[in-house]
A and B are shown apart, each in its own frame.
Chain A
């Protein structure tokens, strides 16, 4: 008969007992972060975004000059060790203007998106939660809004209310709001059919509680992803509007308006276009990479 291995057995039991006391703890949010960390492109996007934010915060320390330091003696100098991005037709240092530009494009894009999501979110939540006729009325209203091309709509608002950052933000927020509210409504409707909503009703949760504690947190994944992409779109729209002269006007160093004022110099001093264009591209690309990664990480197919 087999020999007895009692001491070894005891050691195994001890180890098992130790392992048994340990419980893995990890909230769905932390799990998503773990997945996001594995995605190199998304992390690259995130790093770029953080750098851009830091640049915006510390702009006065980074930029060698102010935004409107016109020195007519050094007009249209190509990039050199002194002016690494060259100077524009008024002799301003492009590098400084680009640095200060982060203080404009990024926050304006963000604010537009926040307003669009907040407004759209409230309407979408009501529509999705109430359903039936309320849903119908709200969504048909959105349909009408959405049938106007967003850029045209923004142009109309800017044209009737005049130029300026506030009007620009208003125009972009309102014109993108219907599309954003659709995303939120769809996300809530998906979550609404889950059993845990019914179980919340069974323990007597009020409508507001069901919406705030059960539906919205679980619908956050697709909403967050859409949010990131929307910031990118908003930045592009801000730049486009400024480019056609309806958004932020010079001398504010908005990248789109910088592009606009340099368009005549395309042949003589192309570098005046390169750098603002490049910055728009990098920002939007970083946001999109991060958004893609976020979507994969927040995939609802949780274990």
Chain B
């Protein structure tokens, strides 16, 4: 067994609707080790949340389909690409056992993630007794410990969600997610709905808990600042593809893909004074009508005759730093060799 807790390999996910097929995730690969944090950044509609839902086995049916790829949890594949109802139901049953126990997820809106008619303490205890054979008293005791751990007094065990503020609710959601000490925690924009001062508290808490429990954390966000704060590695997602992937030093000190550069340039900075923000025109390609070539080419300000009408593979710029752009093609790379030059980011 490897030290990689979660490994996503060449994942392709489509939504099949009456209006056509939306290619939401196109060939995403990455891996997370224990105690490691990987960030996924990108715009709305880039496919970040679909990746998270696929890992959780919560793709909306019947539209969502995993076309191909593997998701390995401790080396064991947990994704079902077959369309057979039987196989899917089997997979669902397995995922139900894993969810909450081995993989947990924190959603953006803490209010809709909590049951409004159940005291918060009981919601934590419920998860514990669902996945562990423990007595009621033991579950309550552990739920209270979890509450203290996320900075909420155990005396508030009997309080209902509406008695807590947004930041406190998100702490409870975190407590529920971590109650069974999962191997993998997926956080989908966990602080977007919170104010900055509260965001700082929650991020600090998550960082501390991650180290304490040695959890593999997948952080999905649109905020590069949050990535710089708590991630070890980072992937930039554009139109369902990883356009750049590397350690945060690679991404922040040497952003290479034109899209990543554009993201950095468009941010108003606190340290520098700029008259005008740099922005690129256009929109992300419609996932229902992806172009056959590089999906960013139309908006790209660095396109040149190296760009050929084929989807670019990931090129390794420096060890561990991958870029999906023809500019970084090695000189011996042959287009006819197809994917031969491609190396998976997970390696």
Contact = CB atoms under 8 A, between A and B. Distances in A.
B17 to A, nearest CB: 12
A68 to B, nearest CB: 52
A38 B19 CA distance: 12
Contact of A2 (B18, B289, B293, B326): B326
Interface stretch (B92-100, B198-206, B300-308): B300-308
Interface in B128-182: none
Q: How large is the interface on B (under 10, 10 to 19, 20 to 34, 35 or more residues)?
A: 10 to 19
A190 to B, nearest CB: 19
Given A16-B291, A19-B289, A5 B18 contact: no
B334 interface: yes
A4 B331 contact: no
A38 B17 CA distance: 13
Given A16-B291, A19-B289, A38-B18, A9 B334 contact: no
A19 B334 CA distance: 31
Q: Main SS of the interface on chain B? A: loop
Q: Main SS of the interface on chain A? A: helix
Contact of A6 (B293, B305, B329): B305
Contacts of B306: 1-2
Contact of A1 (B291, B293, B331): B331
Contact of B309 (A1, A12, A19, A38): A12
Interface string A83-119: 0000000000000000000000000000000000000
Nearest to B329: A2
Interface residues of A, number: 12
Nearest to B286: A19
Interface in A145-197: none
B291 A2 contact: no
A11 B11 CA distance: 30
A3 interface: yes
Nearest to B305: A4
Interface of A: 1-6, 8-9, 12, 16, 19, 38
Given A9-B309, A12-B291, 7 more contacts: A1-B306, A1-B329, A6-B305, A8-B309, A9-B307, A12-B309, A19-B289
